[in-house]
A and B are shown apart, each in its own frame.
Chain A
């Protein structure tokens, strides 16, 4: 099994598109960090304008934690697309290139092969998140230093003390991994249904974009639908930065995400193990 996972990981590393995600993350993070290094004070002055009229605010506001939080807010919308680019191709890519027959002729069951692909996809997702964490938080702390985290909300500021921040980021990265796993499982499931690699990637991206738009629109009509969309629960990482912590809401969303993974994976296994391979 480890051998099979190794082979799948090797396949991922040989495809140029696998590096697009890392490249995009690196560029976006460096761009945001550079922008904040040059002009961050003006941005914060604008946000704190109304409070600064009444109070004198002291302390290091622009620090690595704040920059990391802003990066996470901006990137979390794009990350699923970067994941789907790779995981949507895992099965359908083999079908379109004609290697699926050869793959299935190996002395492994179809379930084992799909497990290996799923685990390899998860490792890729984890590597993407780890890279994001390393650059956004690690480099951010190195450039901007440590300090209290100001969680920016449109109608509230939540200020978390520096000692209370690191565990929240680690938990947020774990939740982000779980959220992206939903996307990777969803695109893997779609990948089992088609014989070309474009369809599951585009379909995954379209679903995520539509769900995200519905989630973002502040229209009462969508309020009933929102809890049913997995994208609504994917942004639960933000609640880890609330004080007090909405534990029930976080647990509920985590369960919904896990349930989605189980359902998508079950459908993928059911279809792939019974699929009539014709090409």
Chain B
């Protein structure tokens, strides 16, 4: 009887210790939020690279500005393609922990980092249908996110962190966006002499990738609102 009691006590202690060490999905998200909450605004240099089917566009660099809650602006000298959502859309969405239900989804290794997957389902009808976040719970950073939206299909965001990881600001962000194949009638494009090519991608769907590389962050320097509006 004594032996059984000791065994039961040991098992209980083990269960409690494990419970204390593991974080709930919302606790993990709260840790992520703590990092990004330190950022009131920032300015940084940005280098952009585009891999968009049907669009031949060279890389470009410029300046990027952000200010809470959702002001975001990239200023370059030329034409650029950006994801339709603000790059911090996912982090901004995670702020209000009562607005969604977080469900654990196991673990997965991304590069050398073991990430915990958290699925986020909004509580009210929103553009976002489902959010899936790969969180490095040791550092409290979102390494990858997959957002399924009503308006833009699925968007995958991969983050690489460096010097600014204490602010949850990545050095590199890679956006992969669902897109339809680019096609314009010849007469509209006034492209009458071009030869029709055999369409290898019959479904007409593909994905476009935008890579943003950040450097020279200047954080919390009280950016003026004018930088988001002026040309």
Chain A residues packing against B (C-beta within 8 Å): 43, 46-47, 50-51, 53-61, 70, 73-74, 77, 147-148, 150, 152-162, 215-216, 218, 235, 238, 243
Contacts and interface: CB of A to CB of B under 8 A. Distances in A.
What class of interface size applies to chain B in its complex with A?
A: 35 or more
Nearest to B196: A218
Given A147-B78, A155-B197, A156-B56, A56 B182 contact: no
B179 A238 contact: no
Contacts of B188: 43, 46-47
Contact of A152 (B58, B177, B180, B190): B190
Interface in B38-65: 52, 54-58, 60
Interface on chain A toward B: helix, strand, loop, or mixed SS? mixed
A162 B196 CA distance: 29
Contacts of A154: 183-186, 189, 191, 194
Interface of B: 52, 54-58, 60, 74, 76-84, 152-153, 177-186, 188-197, 208, 210
Contact of B189 (A47, A53, A77, A235): A47
26 contacts: A47-B184, A50-B182, A51-B182, A54-B179, A55-B52, A55-B81, A57-B82, A59-B79, A152-B184, A152-B189, A152-B190, A153-B189, A154-B184, A154-B185, A155-B182, A155-B183, A156-B55, A157-B56, A157-B57, A159-B55, A159-B56, A159-B57, A159-B78, A159-B79, A161-B77, A218-B195
Contact of A56 (B82, B189, B192): B82
Interface centre among B76, B77, B184 (most CB of A within 10 A): B184
A218 B197 CA distance: 10
Contacts of B179: 50-51, 53-55
A155 B79 contact: no
A50 B84 CA distance: 13
Contacts of A53: 152, 179-180
B117 to A, nearest CB: 25
Contact of A156 (B54, B77, B80, B153): B54
Given A55-B83, A58-B79, A159-B56, 11 more contacts: A50-B181, A50-B182, A53-B180, A54-B84, A57-B81, A152-B191, A153-B184, A155-B183, A159-B78, A216-B192, A218-B195
A74 B190 contact: yes
A194 B78 CA distance: 54
Contacts of B184: 47, 152-155
A23 B82 CA distance: 43
A267 to B, nearest CB: 28
B207 to A, nearest CB: 9
Contacts of B177: 54-55
Given A55-B83, A156-B182, A161 B78 contact: yes
A84 B80 CA distance: 43
B208 A54 contact: yes
Contacts of A156: 54-56, 182
Closest 10 CB pairs of A and B: A59-B79, A54-B179, A159-B57, A152-B189, A73-B190, A148-B78, A55-B81, A158-B56, A148-B79, A56-B82
Contact of A235 (B79, B181, B193, B196): B193
Nearest to A160: B58
Contacts of A55: 52, 81-84, 177, 179, 208, 210
B76 A59 contact: yes
B193 A238 contact: yes
Contacts of A58: 74, 76, 79-82
B109 to A, nearest CB: 30
Nearest to B152: A54
A61 B55 CA distance: 14
A98 B153 CA distance: 75
A238 B195 CA distance: 13
B208 to A, nearest CB: 6
Nearest to A226: B195
Nearest to A77: B192
A61 B195 CA distance: 25
